[in-house]
Structure formats: C-alpha cells, structure tokens
C-alpha cells in the first residue's frame, strides 16, 4: 500500500475492507474515532489552541458555570431528590464538569446530592478528567462508564456538549434508481480510501424520512443510529426515574437532506477519508431525530433553541459583567471576546443548538 503505515488505523481499515468488502461510513467513522488502539480520541488529547479544535467549555468558564446552575435549578424542579446522578457524556478534558461543580456549590444541598458519572471511552481523556476533577470531588471521585447503560438506576441529570456530533453516521445518496447507501472502499491502484455506492438491494428507502425521500438525485441524507439509540435510552430512563438531559451541539433543528460529515485537523478542514485516526470527524446533529427518539422512549422535549438564546437567558452577560469587575483590561477583553464567540450568530450562537429532555412530568426547562 503506497504512502500508508500498514500498522496503524489506515492499515486496519484496509484489511477490514479486504475481508468484508466496502464498509459503511459509520463503520469507517467509528473506527477512525474510537478504534481501541488507533482511534483519534483514544490515542491523544486533541483539545485547545495547540490541538485540533476548541469547544465551548474551553473558551470560557462561564459556559460550564451556567450549565452547573441549570443543573442545580433543574434538580430543585425535580423535587430536590436526596441523590441524583450527574452524568456527562463525552466530557473531554473535564473542564465543563469542573466549572459546573464550582458554580453548583452555590446550592450546597445539590452538591451533596450529586454523584458524578462520566461516560467516556478514551483512556487518555479519562486521565485528564481524573486530574482535573479529583480535587473538586475529594472523597467522592467520579465513576467512569463506557456507555450510559453503566450509570446506576435512579434520578439523573445528563449533560452532553459536542458528544452527539462524534457518533458515527450512515450516509445515503439518492440516485436515478432510488436511495442507496454510501460506502467506503480502498482503491488499491490509487492507494487511498474512496466513496462507492452500495449496489446490493436493501430496505434503504425505509430509512429515509418521508419528507426527504423525494429529494432530487444527488441528494445526501445522513442518519446517526447511535445517537438515536442514546436519545431513546435517555427518554426511557428519564420517564422511569426522573430527571433531565441537556444536549448542546451544532446541527439542524429538523431532519434535512445535506452532507455535513467533516474532518478537522489543527483547526482546518482536511479531506474526510485521508489519514483516518489523525483528524476529528464530526457531522451535524439532526435534532429533529434526536427529539423523536427521546420522545419515543417516553421523555418530553424542549427546544431546540440556539446556544446564543440559551446562554443569554441563563445570564451570560450578567456573569461576564460580574467577572469583568475583578479583571485586568486584558482579562476583560478576553471575557468580552468569549461572550461574543459563544453567543453571536456569526460564531457559535446560532449554529449550535440546545435541546432539553425531561421526565414527562416536568413543566419546563430553564432557558429554553
């Protein structure tokens, strides 16, 4: 194989394709991000200005603080249970949870009730989370789980920021003969991965929402079965045990045709199939499908609203003014710039959405 290290992820994928034939985009993405030895998230901490991307909690402490207060408020609306699992899906470096816990200390009964559970598959990131959160949690360290299923039964508050965009998507393409799945093959002559269409007959049409089925040839539809499974499971658990989930991610409010799979390395776009395992792969979250899946599990859904509107409703401007009072001129400029990045429509304010799922007995979700 030209230009590829056979021992790494590209070699693994190439061998997998040799055995199985072309694989789905979801299989490619799942291995690229989560392969136990070579996956992008498994091998290194990719966050920050020196890494590949920056997420909202890494931009400013205000993001996690406001979410911490949202959790404390929601816990109170749940009837202040003696114990609640405070769960984060895909906590990255643990920054959001650290800031959330600090702010939530304003409601000591909530801090006493909260047991922190982290759903994280990356050992490297689990270590980062341990370093950051151990001092804040003292004799009640967080518990880690590979999946939501590991979190014990009981009332729960779940936070997921930029978790769902990392779950593997399937891609479908409309051709002159109807819908078909896009697969990934290896081109032995060119020495590179390439997209091909699945020619085998299958029930693909049934997987496309009715409103999109008649889209013109060339249209692409992306579905994320893993995201729908997690949303459904959240719906079932919230309905059975009480609580709420807050999902923040970039994406569209209702299902739509369009190709959004992208690869980012060092803050720049790179070709999606090139050098798997060395770039972040994400796709826009279909909030319409997430909400449907959560409702089918029994939850009530609120929103999605935009991240800008949500953070403004929770008081980001007031928190920024408070921080500015004790800040140097440089720090004040950083605070202003962070607020702009988080809520302005030209930055993250509109593209990022916030969806809340609650126990069906809850009468609302703060900020939405």
Ligand X SMILES: C[S@@+](CC[C@H](N)C(=O)[O-])C[C@H]1O[C@@H](n2cnc3c(N)ncnc32)[C@H](O)[C@@H]1O
* 121 touches ligand X (CB under 6 A): yes
Q: Which is nearer to ligand X, 121 or 350 (CB)?
A: 121
Q: Which residue is nearest to ligand X (CB)?
A: 90
CB of 162 to ligand X, least distance (A): 4
Residues 358, 365: contact at Cβ < 8 Å? yes
Q: Which helix (H) or strand (E) holds 335?
A: helix 329-343
Give the range of 85-93, 302-310, 314-322, 354-362 binding ligand X by CB under 6 A: 85-93
Give the range of 13-21, 51-59, 133-141, 217-225 binding ligand X by CB under 6 A: 51-59
CA distances from 304 to 10, 39, 250, 307, 365 (A): 37, 31, 11, 9, 11
Give the range of 84-92, 180-188, 254-262, 295-303 binding ligand X by CB under 6 A: 84-92
* 96 touches ligand X (CB under 6 A): yes
Strand pairing class (285-286; 280-282): unpaired
Q: Which is nearer to ligand X, 89 or 365 (CB)?
A: 89
CB of 307 to ligand X, least distance (A): 12
Give the range of 9-17, 68-76, 118-126, 360-368 binding ligand X by CB under 6 A: 118-126
* 91 touches ligand X (CB under 6 A): yes
* 161 touches ligand X (CB under 6 A): yes
Residue 212, preceding peptide bond in cis (omega within 30° of 0)? no
28, 70, 75, 163: which one binds ligand X (CB under 6 A)? 163
For residues 336 and 324, what is the distance between their CA atoms, to the nearest angstrom? 9
x-marked contacts with ligand X along 122-151 as a string, rule CB under 6 A: x--x--------------------------
Give the range of 107-115, 157-165, 181-189, 208-216 binding ligand X by CB under 6 A: 157-165
* 29 touches ligand X (CB under 6 A): no
* 172 touches ligand X (CB under 6 A): no
Residues 62, 319: contact at Cβ < 8 Å? yes
Question: What distance separates the 2 farthest-apart alpha carbons in the chain?
Answer: 65
Residues 194, 185: contact at Cβ < 8 Å? yes
CA distances from 71 to 105, 237, 250, 259, 268 (A): 11, 17, 21, 34, 34
CB of 293 to ligand X, least distance (A): 16
* 119 touches ligand X (CB under 6 A): yes
55, 180, 255, 306: which one binds ligand X (CB under 6 A)? 55
26, 59, 166, 299: which one binds ligand X (CB under 6 A)? 166
Give the range of 33-41, 182-190, 287-295, 306-314 binding ligand X by CB under 6 A: 33-41
Q: Which is nearer to ligand X, 21 or 150 (CB)?
A: 150
Residues 95, 58: contact at Cβ < 8 Å? yes
For residues 222 and 262, what is the distance between their CA atoms, to the nearest angstrom? 12
Count the residues in the chain. 368
Q: Which helix (H) or strand (E) holds 192?
A: strand 192-197
Which residue stretches of 60-107 are H helix? 61-77, 95-104
How many residues of this chain interact with ligand X, rule: CB under 6 A?
Answer: 19
Burial of 313 (0-12, 13-18, 19+ CB in 10 A): middle
* 101 touches ligand X (CB under 6 A): no
CB of 17 to ligand X, least distance (A): 22
Q: Using H for helix, E for strand and C for coil, what is the string for 206-228?
A: HHCCHHHHCCCCCCEEEECHHHH
Q: Which is nearer to ligand X, 119 or 256 (CB)?
A: 119
Q: Which is nearer to ligand X, 166 or 338 (CB)?
A: 166
The tokens describing 10, both together, are 């590209």
Phi first, then psi: give them for residue 276, nearest 5 degrees.
Answer: -55, 145
Query: Which residues contribute to the site for ligand X (CB under 6 A)?
Result: 33-34, 41, 55, 57-58, 90-92, 96, 119-122, 125, 161-163, 166
């Amino acid at each position: 194989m030209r230009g590829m290290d056979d021992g790494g992820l590209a070699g693994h994928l190439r061998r997998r394709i040799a055995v199985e034939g072309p694989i789905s985009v979801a299989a490619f993405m799942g291995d690229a991000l989560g392969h136990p030895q070579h996956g992008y998230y498994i091998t290194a901490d990719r966050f920050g200005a020196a890494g590949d991307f920056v997420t909202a909690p890494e931009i400013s402490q205000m993001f996690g603080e406001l979410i911490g207060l949202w959790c404390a408020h929601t816990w109170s609306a749940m009837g202040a249970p003696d114990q609640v699992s405070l769960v984060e899906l895909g906590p990255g470096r643990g920054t959001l949870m650290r800031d959330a816990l600090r702010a939530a200390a304003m409601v000591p009964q909530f801090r006493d009730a909260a047991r922190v559970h982290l759903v994280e598959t990356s050992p490297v990131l689990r270590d980062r989370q341990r370093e950051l959160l151990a001092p804040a949690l003292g004799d009640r360290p967080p518990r880690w789980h590979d999946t939501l299923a590991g979190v014990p039964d009981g009332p729960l508050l779940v936070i997921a920021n930029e978790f769902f965009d990392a779950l593997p998507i399937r891609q479908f393409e409309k051709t002159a003969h109807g819908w078909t799945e896009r697969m990934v093959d290896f081109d032995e002559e060119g020495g590179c991965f390439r997209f091909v269409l699945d020619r085998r007959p299958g029930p693909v049409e049934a997987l496309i929402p009715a409103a999109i089925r008649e889209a013109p040839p060339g249209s692409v539809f992306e579905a994320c079965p893993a995201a729908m499974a997690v949303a459904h499971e959240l719906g079932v658990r919230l309905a059975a045990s009480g609580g709420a989930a807050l999902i923040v991610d970039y994406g569209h409010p209702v299902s739509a045709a369009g190709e959004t799979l992208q690869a980012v390395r060092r803050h720049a776009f790179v070709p999606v199939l090139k050098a798997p395992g060395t770039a972040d792969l994400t796709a826009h979250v279909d909030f319409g499908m997430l909400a449907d899946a959560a409702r089918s599990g029994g939850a009530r859904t609120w929103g999605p609203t935009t991240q800008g509107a949500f953070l403004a409703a929770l008081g980001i401007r007031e928190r920024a003014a408070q921080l500015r009072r004790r800040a140097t001129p440089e720090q004040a400029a950083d605070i202003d710039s962070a607020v702009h990045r988080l809520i302005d429509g030209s930055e993250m304010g509109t593209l990022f959405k916030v969806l809340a799922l609650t126990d069906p007995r809850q009468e609302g979700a703060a900020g939405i």
